[in-house]
Amino acid sequence: MGKNKNVIVVGGGIVGLSTAYFLQKEGHQVTVLDKSNMDSGASYVNAGYITPSHIIPLASPGMITKGIKYMFNSSSPFYMKPRLDKDFIKWAWYFKKSSTKHKVERAMPIIRDINLLSRELYEGIKASGNLGNFHLERKGLLMVYQTEKARDHELEVAQKADDLGLEVSNLDSNGLQKIEPNIKLNAKGAIYYECDGHTTPTQFMNRMIDYLSENGVVIQKNEEVLDVVFNGDQLNEVKTSKNSYKVDEVVLAAGSWTTGLSKKLNIDLPLQAGKGYRINVGTPTNISMPAILMEAKMAVTPMEGYTRFAGTMEFSGINNIIRKERVEAIAKGAERYYKGLKISEEDKSQAQCGLRPVTPDGLPYIGKSKQYKNLTFATGHAMMGWSLGPATGKLVSELISERNLSMDITPFDPQRKF
């Protein structure tokens, strides 16, 4: 166990706050810096899933071909905006290299293990009572299909999940109706992953911010990191738009913005922002089960106070432009599956987006830098940031406190070769 340290966590999303939570428990002095007001972004607009079932990384065979096919259709579920950007082209090449059957097979048990660790930690945070009684349920997740093709594809994944010891079953349309009784589904059936859970992200984030602020963690909103001062292999100081901070340790958990900060330290961290959208519907929908609508490639989550419809993966750089056609595609997708569901123009007009940090191989970056002995990375979780936040925070706190790690993090090496 190392001495208590002064740690700067750059980034106040789910990963940054979880890191602060576990570091504070170890007795470190933690400051979280975030350039936003910490009330929007990927940690607030996601589907709220805790998903051991998501064992297949985004970089899987055929994804780049799909991306190229969808490239000129900006309402498609997986959209890559054509652009001459060196970082994007290099990332896309690494992504293609990572999308092999062998690499996917190797990644599956690793993704399962970190998800199960995180699920346990969410339950531990709830049991501790630290955040009060926040919404956390383990009802499972339905992968709802309208076609045999989607069903057969998911059955292959279900078989792999079953081989990895996760609870999964196949429901026909009657079985689906029994488990989701109050709304009529236009579907042939669903693969049911009983191992998954869900939450209401904004509620959790707000409770976490309150808890940390009351327990000695300094949270600085609207404060952008501009530079990091280093001497040899040691980071000494973090300079922001408002202050300067002396440091013992720095954690880069800035999501899609981590690459820009890494460049200041001459570290190449291949990462692209994958934009996702969400629509909240506050009127009752009678939907009680989290579901992924397979052909529409979108997620549906019953949360406290609303039903959330979320989806799409748009690679168009770092921007918060909301493309109306993509919001429309989510609304239409949902209405195709749930009979009688109508998403109002008002709800669509309130849609928000968030940028998910996507690595070329679908595994996050968690670990120490090779160049600087007091720098740790915690980013690149793609669509699993919410699911993996607590596990990442715990692993980072173990690294900084020089404790035994809860799992082997070699596959998450931030400077691995692609």
Mean pLDDT confidence for 211-230: 97
E-strand ranges in 83-140 read: 136-137
What confidence tens digit (pLDDT) does each residue in 62-80 have?
A: 777 776 776 667 777 788 8
The SS3 assignment for 114 reads helix
- The pLDDT assigned to 71 comes to 66
Report how many domains make up the chain. Answer: 1
- The pLDDT assigned to 1 comes to 54
- The pLDDT assigned to 213 comes to 98
Mean pLDDT confidence for 73-100: 86
Mean pLDDT confidence for 201-222: 98
418 in any annotated domain: no
213 in any annotated domain: yes
What confidence tens digit (pLDDT) does each residue in 261-305 have?
A: 999 999 999 999 999 999 999 999 999 999 999 999 999 999 999
Mean pLDDT confidence for 67-94: 81
**Could you tell me the residue range of the domain that residue 197 belongs to?**
6-412
378 in any annotated domain: yes
125 in any annotated domain: yes
Mean pLDDT confidence for 228-246: 96
Tell me which amino acid residue 67 is: G
Nearest residue to 242 (alpha-carbon basis) of 213, 214, 222: 222
1 in any annotated domain: no
Q: Which of 127-131, 309-313, 384-388 has the lowest mean pLDDT?
A: 309-313
Q: How confident is the model at residue 410 (pLDDT cuts 50, 70, 90)?
A: very high
Using a pLDDT cut of 70, give the percent of the chain over it: 98
Distance separating alpha carbons of residues 71 and 402, to the nearest angstrom: 45
Query: Is the model's pTM score more than 0.85?
Result: yes
- The pLDDT assigned to 173 comes to 95
The CA distances from residue 28 to 3, 19, 84, 217, in Å, are: 8, 11, 44, 9
Pairing mode of beta strands 6-10, 298-303: unpaired
Per the DSSP assignment, residues forming a β-bridge with 144 are 190, 293
Nearest residue to 310 (alpha-carbon basis) of 49, 89, 63: 49
What confidence tens digit (pLDDT) does each residue in 147-188 have?
A: 999 999 999 999 999 999 999 999 999 999 999 999 999 999
| CATH number, domain containing residue 96 | 3.50.50.60
The average confidence (pLDDT) of the chain is 94
Q: Which of 8-22, 25-39, 81-95 has the lowest mean pLDDT?
A: 81-95
417 in any annotated domain: no
Q: Which of 73-82, 319-328, 392-401 has the lowest mean pLDDT?
A: 73-82
- The pLDDT assigned to 56 comes to 84
37 in any annotated domain: yes
368 in any annotated domain: yes
pLDDT at 195 > cutoff 70: yes
